[in-house]
Amino acid sequence: MTAEREKSPRRGMCAAVLALEAITLGLTTPVMISISDVSTGTALTVGLGLVAACVLVAGLLRRPWAYALGWAIQVAAVALGFVVGIMFVLGGIFALLWSMADLLGRRIDRERAAAFAVYDAQHADS
């Protein structure tokens, strides 16, 4: 039962958002090159750099400070809208998904911890 207690819905939901966002940001790279006339080197650096950041941070979500990096990625994704206009919308959607995953995940983690504490207290004498 220890392994079950260590699973974090917050971490799982946030990692899923970052994984989907990595795909979206990866697909933004050719758009920057073809439509927005961004140089190939800059588009690859920014686009694939954000993809790598999403994947890296998704793997680091066991650490509390990684969530701050996730928020920074959301800001960068929305700011990418200054280069590719649709990213204002897509970045905003992912920022909303990230905030819901983070905030609701925290709530679920707290409620699970409280439920496990009650369970442990009830079964302490057994």
Question: Mind listing the pLDDT tens digit for each residue in 107-125?
Answer: 998 998 888 888 888 888 7
Quickly tell me which residue has 């680091």 as its tokens: 60
Total structural domains within the chain: 1
Closest CA to 36 of 79, 74, 67, 81: 81
Tens of pLDDT along 52-90? 999 999 999 999 999 999 999 999 999 999 999 999 999
Mean of pLDDT over the chain? 91
Cβ neighbours of 21 (radius 10 Å): 28
Rounded Cα distance between 92 and 21, Å, is: 11
Q: Do the beta carbons of residue 101 and residue 17 sit within 8 Å?
A: yes
| pTM summary value | 0.88
Residues sharing a CB contact under 8 Å with residue 67, sequence separation 6 or more, in sequence order: 14, 61, 102
For residue 70, what are the domain limits?
2-122
Rounded to whole angstroms, the Cα distance separating 22 from 4 reads 28
Please report the pLDDT score of residue 53 as a whole number.
98
